[in-house]
Amino acid sequence: MRHRLLLLDLDPLAPPLVPRITPLVVLPLPGGRAAVPLNDESAEEVLATLLAGGLAIRSSRVIEA
């Protein structure tokens, strides 16, 4: 079974990634990146939720793993 992930490049000048209360699982990765598993949500919905929560995102892309 393949899983879709939203990979995020975070703004290096922003404060460090702090766990937030959200229905999304944000997995911190090395190098100023993070990943969010996409279950039933679209990438746009996830990005909107993260940006509304104050996460500084420089770029994003969806991959299948």
Residue 2 has pLDDT above 90, yes or no: no
Largest CA distance in the chain: 37
Looking at residue 6, what is its pLDDT? 95
Query: Would you give the DSSP letter of residue 15?
Result: P
Confidence of residue 33 (pLDDT cuts 50, 70, 90): very high
Q: Say which residue the tokens 């104050």 belong to.
A: 54
**What's the whole-model pTM score?**
0.80
Q: Which two tokens stand for residue 13?
A: 């000048």
Looking at residue 21, what is its pLDDT? 59
The Cα–Cα gap between 38 and 5 comes to 5
Confidence of residue 37 (pLDDT cuts 50, 70, 90): very high
